Every structure is written in C-alpha cells, then in structure tokens.
Amino acid sequence: MSIVSQKPIGVFDSGLGGLTVLESLRARLPDEDFIYFSDARHLPYGDKPEPFIRTRAQQIAAVLAECGCKAIVVACNTATAAAAEGIRAQIVIPVVALEPAIKPAATLTRNGILGVLATTHTLASRRFAQLVKTHAAGTTVIVQACPGLAEAIESEGPKSAKVETLLDAYVRPLASANADVVVLGCTHYPWVKAGIARRLLPETTVVDTGEAVARQLERRLKEENLLGGRGQLRFATSGDALQVGATLARLCGIFAPVESWAI
C-alpha cells in the first residue's frame, strides 16, 4: 500500500445531510479513511446565491486537498450543480460529485411520470436541466422545490412537527400528479424517506444516490491505484463544533469529537 493510498477521502456538505452518502461510502469501502466536513456556518446552501455556493464549495475543496485528501466527494446536490466543474478544474485529485438520480429513475417509471424533490438551486441549475434533457426525454418530470426542509430535518429532527408539515406541502403534489418514481435530490431527504413514501401513491419507487456515488468513488480509486486505509473517520465543521457534535449524535447515533476549522 502506497503512502498516497493511505491518505483520507474528503467528504463535504453544507450540513450533515452528506452523512447519508458517507454511510454508503463506508459500507462499500470500509477500509478507507474519511474526513467529513460540515459547512454548518452556511447551512443550508439550497437558497443562497449560486456565486456564493460556487466560491464556498471551491474553498472547502481546496482546504481538503491541502489537508492531504486523496479524493473528494461533493456530498451535496446544490454544491455539485454550482461548483463541481470549478472544483475539478482547480485540483488534480479525483472528485466525485452528487447529482439527482434522473438517469436510473427514468428507467424505472412505468407510467412515464417522474417526480423530483430538491432544493431551489438544484432544480434551477443548468446541470439539472441537462440531466433531464439527456436522460428523461419523453418522460414527464414534475419538480418540487423544498425550501426549508433540509434545515428543519437537521435542526428539529426528521420526525418533528415542522418536518411533517413541510412534507405534506412538498410531497402531496407529486402524488396528485401520479408520479410513480420520485427522486430524492438532497442528501438530507433519505432521513425522511419513510415519511415521503407514506405520502406517495402505493408502490411508488423512491430513489436516492448514495450507493451510486459509492460505486463511482470505488471505481475512481481503483483507476488511480488509491485504494487503502485503516477505516478511520474524522469530523470537522465551520460552525459550532459542540452543536454539530450533538446533532451528529442525535441524527446518527455517532458520538465523536468534531474539529473546528476556520474556513
């Protein structure tokens, strides 16, 4: 095992939603070391101006690369839409980015009606429009922006009254449109997957992207001969480390120290 292959993989999101992706990454690559960075100081990205998101994501990626990461996973659909191309242009290590699972979802629909739950910026992005054009031609795509949902899941909990109210508002229109496949276009949404499914028509397929990202990361690491590690995990944040640690424990049952990074 080379010295480079023993370096960690950096994973980042605006909050802790990317932990749903991290879970898939660790399940597929249990021997790899990971640094998870939560940009809690700027949670959520979903309704911030795109230039800000682009600059911020590029800053975080640069810091993770400077810290010695051998690869970076952009565990945020909004950051991917705004900044993935810029990140890949500025650093030489492998970058795996997240995007709504339009391609697999379009192959699963039986009635040709596909629903997408995502942030305002993800749905308005050029990248999302290209995904739909490339992979869902001939399919009716019903998009539903979900402002405030990711923040409510993280701050108040997946089963909170506020989250339930937001799910009522955002999911029921997709059921009314008869969508038989629904894409979760934000990393926070898998935490409320059961609540989303309850509000959809029976036998609706709900699709997220964690496993696909894990397969892509594994492929890139193999290509670059970078597989290897000790299975270690670190957490860092731009926000209140104690608060992020408490949220980490509440959401995931993970009790671990959280480093404070001045980014």
Catalytic residues, by residue number, are 76, 186
Q: What is the DSSP letter of 148?
A: T
Q: In what order do the strands lie in the sheet with 34-38?
A: 95-97, 71-74, 9-13, 34-38, 233-237, 258-260
Give the DSSP H/E element, type plus range, for residue 237. strand 233-237
Q: How many CB atoms lie within 10 A of CB 25?
A: 25
Where b means 16+ CB within 10 Å and e means fewer, 79-107 reads bbbbbbeebbeebebbbbbbbbbbeebbe
Instruction: Please list, residue by residue across 118-134, b when 16 or more beta carbons sit within 10 angstroms of its beta carbon and e when fewer do.
Output: bbebbbebebbeebbee
| Pairing, β 140-145 against β 113-118 | parallel
Contact 13, 247 (CB under 8 A): no
Taking the C-alpha atoms of residue 13 and residue 203, their distance in angstroms, rounded to an integer, is: 31
The total number of residues shown for the chain amounts to 263
Nearest to 235 by CA among 27, 10, 84: 10
* Residue found by looking up tokens 């957490």 in the block: 235
